[in-house]
């Protein structure tokens, strides 16, 4: 098939030509990102064989989110910073692993773009050898030669120039959108090229899968409990079909599965910490994944607001995230709307509300 010989670099150039002219700086930045992903992928593949060398002051510990940093988190962050700084294509970067944004220092030339990224998504799975990845988003920098400010990064997802993620699993892949479809590239390890293997990816409309961390169900809002219960009821419930539940706890792996097989992923708002607006970060997790899902025919929402319409208020702002097959996302959005109007107050959940699966009715005998 012709697309088998289409490399990532060639595809970016062809895409720019189709848009009416090359954007050499964006092309070069995307090539820097793919180089960084190759290096991170090699490091991840070595696992405990890799000796982590980190710069002074960047040793693993607790990051800005009060989460444990793995040595590979720090290494992956340094790889992305080093690889994308020297080419003169960005003027600033922001990462999950840094409390503040990074302004590209002299003598590097300042470019016309901003790069935000999660250097190693799903790193809590490293020790159990589960697929992890890198998520990235590219924005235009403001005009002029001034150093970037935090406000320059706080732009809605609709202003993303490109977004993508890398997968480090049985194969190493990059999935990317430049605003006109979603395309997947697989690393040919013998040659060293990412080759186009999944052109024009589309989220299947029909689905029988959903992904959510069921251990948190006692904290969910009624709309989320309603959706999950209907799926769990299967053919006997209002959906009239059986569903399978998945949970990998690696956003890159969850989204890739949805691109291939359809489905729904949820990390909704819950009441564990009512003051915290969500779990996942808007700029470098929710926004790039929302752009990819929408470009592939899916949808992404907080349950009450389209992810890409949100205007960030901080670099590390958290949001609820519900994404996947469009009809499933729209269904749970309707449930949130009904709940907010007070129309689901009579909703009685035998699984999650008035009684549990294993509690005996009043007056029933116990024991075996």
Annotated binding residues for substrate, written as ranges, equal 121-124, 213
3-state helix, strand, coil in the chain (%, to 5): 35, 20, 40
Environment class of 18 (CB within 10 Å of its CB; exposed 0-12, middle 13-18, buried 19+): exposed
| Whole-number Å distance between alpha carbons of 305 and 158 | 13
- The encoded tokens of residue 248 equal 């990998």
Torsion over CA: 178, 179, 180, 183 (sign): positive
Angle formed at CA 178 by CA 172 and CA 181, multiple of 5 degrees: 85
| Whole-number Å distance between alpha carbons of 201 and 184 | 7
Please enumerate, by residue number, every residue annotated as part of a binding site for Mg(2+).
96, 118, 120-121, 285
Please enumerate, by residue number, every residue annotated as part of a binding site.
96, 118, 120-124, 213, 285
Give strand ranges (E) for the chain: 90-95, 102-103, 113-121, 132-140, 160-168, 172-177, 182-188, 193-198, 209-211, 244-246, 264-267, 280-281, 299-301, 318-319, 321-324
Pairing relation of β-strands 160-168 and 132-140? antiparallel
| Whole-number Å distance between alpha carbons of 14 and 12 | 5
- H helices of 184-237, in order, are 222-233
| Whole-number Å distance between alpha carbons of 307 and 181 | 18
Give 228's contacts (C-beta < 8 A, 6+ positions apart): 210, 212, 214, 217, 220, 351, 352
Give Cα 171 distance to the centre of its chain.
19
Pairing relation of β-strands 90-95 and 113-121? parallel
Q: Do 257 and 246 form a contact (C-beta atoms < 8 A)?
A: yes
Task: Please state at what angle helix 8-18 crosses helix 24-46, rounded to 10 degrees.
Answer: 160
Half-sphere exposure at residue 285, Cβ-oriented, CA atoms within 13 angstroms: 29
């Amino acid at each position: 098939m012709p697309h088998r010989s289409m490399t990532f670099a060639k595809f970016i150039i062809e895409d720019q030509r189709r848009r009416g002219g090359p954007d050499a700086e964006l092309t070069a930045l995307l090539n820097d990102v793919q180089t960084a992903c190759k290096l991170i992928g090699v490091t991840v593949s070595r696992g405990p064989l890799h000796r982590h060398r980190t710069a002074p002051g960047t040793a693993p510990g607790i990051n800005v989110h009060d989460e444990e940093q793995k040595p590979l988190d720090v290494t992956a962050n340094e790889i992305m910073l080093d690889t994308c700084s020297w080419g003169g294509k960005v003027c600033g970067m922001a990462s999950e692993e840094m409390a503040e944004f990074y302004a590209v220092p002299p003598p590097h030339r300042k470019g016309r773009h901003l790069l935000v990224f999660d250097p190693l998504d799903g790193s809590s799975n490293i020790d159990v050898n589960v697929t992890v990845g890198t998520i990235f988003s590219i924005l235009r920098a403001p005009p002029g030669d001034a150093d970037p400010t935090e406000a320059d990064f706080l732009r809605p997802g609709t202003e993303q120039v490109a977004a993508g993620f890398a997968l480090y699993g049985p194969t190493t892949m990059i999935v990317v959108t430049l605003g006109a479809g979603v395309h997947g590239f697989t690393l040919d390890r013998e040659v060293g090229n990412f080759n186009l293997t999944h052109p024009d990816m589309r989220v299947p409309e029909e689905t029988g899968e959903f992904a959510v961390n069921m251990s948190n169900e006692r904290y969910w809002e009624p709309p989320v409990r309603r959706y999950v219960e209907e799926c769990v009821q299967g053919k006997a419930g209002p959906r009239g079909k059986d569903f399978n539940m998945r949970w990998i706890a690696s956003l890159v792996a969850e989204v890739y599965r949805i691109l291939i097989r359809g489905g729904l992923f949820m990390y909704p708002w819950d009441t564990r910490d009512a003051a915290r607006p969500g779990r996942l970060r808007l700029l470098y997790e929710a926004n790039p994944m929302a752009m990819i899902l929408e470009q592939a025919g899916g949808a992404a929402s907080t349950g009450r607001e389209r992810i890409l319409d949100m205007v960030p208020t901080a670099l590390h702002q958290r949001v609820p995230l519900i994404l996947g097959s469009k009809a499933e996302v729209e269904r749970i959005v309707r449930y949130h709307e009904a709940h907010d109007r007070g129309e689901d107050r009579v909703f009685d959940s035998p699984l999650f509300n008035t009684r549990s699966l294993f509690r005996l009715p009043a007056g029933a005998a116990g024991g075996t």
